[in-house]
Amino acid sequence: MVVGLLGGIGSGKSTVASLLAESGAEVVDADRLAHQVLRMPSARSRVVSRFGSGVLGPDGEVDRKRLAEVVFSDRRSLEDLNGIIHPAVIDEILARVRSHRTAERGPGTAGLLVLDVPLLSESPLGNECDALVFVDADREVRRERLRARGWDVREMERRESFQASLEDKSRMARFRIDNSGPLEETRAAVGRLLADLQAAVLPPGPPRGDG
């Protein structure tokens, strides 16, 4: 079973993904794959050609913070960056999905592949998911989490303006987890989600007799 996570910036999709991994799920982290792509010489060369050497750090690698400052100020720049990175990332994720489906045996969530992909709802990967889960959190909670990371809170609104709205993401999802509270509450919610996912894929049992 392939499950995709949706949610706003700072909602805690990675936290939910980690909790699902603790339960035995395999997690595909698109951000990590994107980092790997940016370290490839061919991709780095295309990024520098498009955005200039100012996006490189002292080590000669792409500085993702500098790059983000450029692309999240201009939609065309973001589209150009996505054109460099996304094809390789999507190809790798699709390969993981195909491998998972080939290896998957039987019903239930024991064979669970979780896609933690920031732009899942805008990419063809959304169509690969058997179920979508919306990870929700109060806006002020999300802001506080981003402040703790050293973000300017205005950055959340700026980046989300380039994405599908939270309302649209919520409508797309069959399942929802509220990640506004303590970790243990989220852990319990993930446990309920796993039970719901298992119930969703198990075939109905035979009708019961009267005795």
pLDDT tens digit string along 46-61?
999 999 999 999 999 9
Q: Where are the beta strands (DSSP E) in the chain?
A: 2-7, 26-29, 113-116, 131-136, 175-178
180 has pLDDT over 60: yes
Q: Which residue has the higher pLDDT, 125 or 207?
A: 125
DSSP secondary-structure letter at 56? B
Whole-prediction pTM value? 0.84
As a whole number, mean pLDDT of residues 50-75 equals 90
Rounded to whole angstroms, the Cα distance separating 139 from 160 reads 12
Buried b (16+ CB within 10 A) or exposed e, 165-175: ebeebeebbeb
Strands 2-7 and 131-136 turn out to be: parallel
| The predicted structure's pLDDT at residue 202 | 53
Q: For residue 63, which of 44, 87, 77 has the smallest C-alpha distance?
A: 44
As a whole number, mean pLDDT of residues 141-170 equals 84
State which CATH number among 3.50.50.60, 3.40.50.1820, 1.10.4190.10, 3.40.50.300 fits the domain covering 2-200.
3.40.50.300
pLDDT digit string, tens, across residues 111-129: 899 999 988 888 889 899 9
